[in-house]
Amino acid sequence: MSAQLEGLVAIVTGGASGIGAAIAAALADEGAQVAVLDRDPSGADPRFTAVAADVSDRAGVERAVADVAGRFGRIDILVNNAGIGAQGDIAANDDDEWARVLSVNVTGIARVTAAALPWLRQSPSAAVCNTSSIAATAGLPQRALYSASKGAVLSLTRAMAADHLREGIRVNAVNPGTADTPWVGRLLSTAPDPAAERAALEARQPHGRLVSADEVAGAVLYLVSPRSGSTTGTYIEVDGGMSGLRLRPAQS
Ligand SMILES: NC(=O)c1ccc[n+]([C@@H]2O[C@H](COP(=O)([O-])OP(=O)(O)OC[C@H]3O[C@@H](n4cnc5c(N)ncnc54)[C@H](O)[C@@H]3O)[C@@H](O)[C@H]2O)c1
């Protein structure tokens, strides 16, 4: 069978690290030409075109997307993966922090997708995939702002899927559980007892370990592949069963 994405051009935001880097690699392995759009593209794999852009800056996003389209002449796949965290309960963050996180995690998707839309409309197999989170569907402690942003990503995914279905653009999302990425590494390093914190995060997922970035990338590859032409307006949970399973305690 030929590579699934041969001849297609993909943009992956936040593709210089963690889940985004794994997604970029998975798409390239299936034949796509990949452009990584990242606020800090220094860590991007040199086999990808790296474009510096902050998804919270509309003019910068428009320049970056035009740059990619100018180089490749088309955009078929957009993975809106760039995101930042926020900790604390509903009172923990001030208005500026709420605006900053929502601007990256939610409005960032709107900015990049709007800039790419004219190109996606011309693609014979256009697909968008947004990175949401287990935080969108499970109530996690001390993640009020982050969870609100990721819930919005799911709602936005469905609305986008409805708006663009008849233009031939599919829109889906992926909901990772806690994944083993530099982001989580940074979180663990600030914990009073990083090993205990990691063990607690692993135990929270029914399969007893962190999700790998490659496992998330596999789901994204499925969602954006032209072979998944009937899949739109939905999401795949890659969370070791965390969102849906209720296991009895293990027997010792
Ligand atoms: N790691 C997890 O446990 C986990 C779980 C669920 C969902 N997610 C989501 O997955 C996505 C990727 O997370 P990760 O763990 O790979 O993080 P990461 O910090 O390892 O990588 C994020 C990348 O996004 C880039 N980025 C951040 N803000 C940006 C901006 N404003 N504009 C452009 N690029 C920006 C960073 O430079 C970095 O390269 C995020 O949307 C996150 O919310 C992560």
Return the pLDDT at 251.
81
Distance 149 CA to ligand 1 centre (A): 13
Q: Is the CB of 56 inside a 6 Å radius of any atom of ligand 1?
A: yes
Distance 184 CA to ligand 1 centre (A): 10
Asked if 132 contacts 235 with a C-beta cutoff of 8 angstroms, the reply is yes
* Dihedrals phi, psi of 110, to nearest 5 degrees: -65, -45
Return the pLDDT at 1.
60
Q: Is the CB of 83 inside a 6 Å radius of any atom of ligand 1?
A: yes
Distance 178 CA to ligand 1 centre (A): 12
Distance 211 CA to ligand 1 centre (A): 14
Residue nearest to atom 21 of ligand 1 (CA): 17
Q: Is the CB of 61 inside a 6 Å radius of any atom of ligand 1?
A: no
For the question of residue 146 being annotated catalytic, the response is yes
Return the pLDDT at 109.
99
CB-based contacts of 61, cutoff 8 Å, min separation 6: 37, 53, 54, 55, 108, 111, 112, 115
Q: Which of 146, 157, 176, 238 is catalytic?
A: 146
**Got the DSSP string for 180-195?**
-SHHHHHHHHTSSSHH
Q: Is the CB of 15 inside a 6 Å radius of any atom of ligand 1?
A: no
Return the pLDDT at 7.
98
Return the pLDDT at 5.
98
State the Cα–Cα distance between residues 107 and 104, nearest whole angstrom.
Answer: 6
State the Cα–Cα distance between residues 107 and 230, nearest whole angstrom.
Answer: 27
The helix (H) or strand (E) run that includes residue 178 is none
Return the pLDDT at 95.
98
Atom number, ligand 1, closest to the C-alpha of residue 16: 39
Return the pLDDT at 250.
81
Residue 135 carries which side chain, given as an amino acid letter? A
Q: Is the CB of 81 inside a 6 Å radius of any atom of ligand 1?
A: yes
Distance 183 CA to ligand 1 centre (A): 7
Q: Among 100, 69, 65, which Cα is nearest to 85's?
A: 100
Q: Is the CB of 19 inside a 6 Å radius of any atom of ligand 1?
A: yes
pLDDT means per 10 residues, the chain with 252 residues, are 91 98 98 98 96 98 98 99 98 98 99 99 98 98 98 98 98 98 93 94 95 98 98 98 92 74
Evaluate if pTM is beyond 0.85: yes
Residue nearest to atom 12 of ligand 1 (CA): 19
Q: Is the CB of 240 inside a 6 Å radius of any atom of ligand 1?
A: no
